[in-house]
Amino acid sequence: MPIAARLFADLVTGARLSVSRATIVGRMPRRGEAATWKRYSGPPLPADPERQRQMLEAYRVRRRDVEDIINSVLGRDPEQIRPFSLSWDPLINLLNRNGIRLREEQLIATPFVFEFSDELLVELAPVTNGS
């Protein structure tokens, strides 16, 4: 499943500055254990190893999995290894052009909202039981 994310900043004036191109691009498996990026977030797994395997094979990517991978490439998750190069540069450059000077560390610490396209939401497993 292709993933393309654009970063944006909502200003206190109500204006939105949005990077014109996707700054985070990649692919995620739609199904199976590989669809989880950080941790399995499906229903509780049974003790029986064969049933566990079946459930993991049937796992469908969830919103949380996509959020986990984006948080990882933005260095926003202290539980994950921070990548050498983060994806903030296009947003930092856009903010600079608009007179706003921020560093990666400041952006990492700001409130962050995920907005998903309707097409991506259709691809993701429905949210159930807090997953």
Strand partners, 17: 9
Buried b (16+ CB within 10 A) or exposed e, 46-68: eeeeeeeeebbeebebbbbbbbb
Look at the chain and report how many structural domains it folds into: 1
For the residues 25-41, what does the mean pLDDT come to?
A: 85
Domain that holds residue 37: 2-123
Find the helix or strand (DSSP H, E) in which 4 lies: strand 2-5
- pLDDT bucket at 127, cuts 50 / 70 / 90: low
Mean pLDDT for all residues in the chain: 88
Summarised one tens digit per residue, pLDDT across range 72-86 is 888 888 887 776 678
Above pLDDT 90, what percent of the chain? 44
For the residues 21-39, what does the mean pLDDT come to?
A: 86
Within-domain flag for 62:
yes
- pLDDT bucket at 2, cuts 50 / 70 / 90: confident
Strands 16-18 and 24-27: unpaired
Within-domain flag for 83:
yes
CA-nearest of 69, 63, 41 to 120 is 63
| Predicted TM-score of the model (pTM) | 0.81
Within-domain flag for 57:
yes
Buried b (16+ CB within 10 A) or exposed e, 99-127: eeeeeeeebbeeeeeeeeeeebeebbbee
Q: Are 16 and 91 in contact (CB under 8 A)?
A: no
Within-domain flag for 128:
no
Phi and psi dihedrals of 30, rounded to 5? Answer: -80, -30
Within-domain flag for 130:
no
The answer to whether residue 131 scores a pLDDT higher than 80 is: no
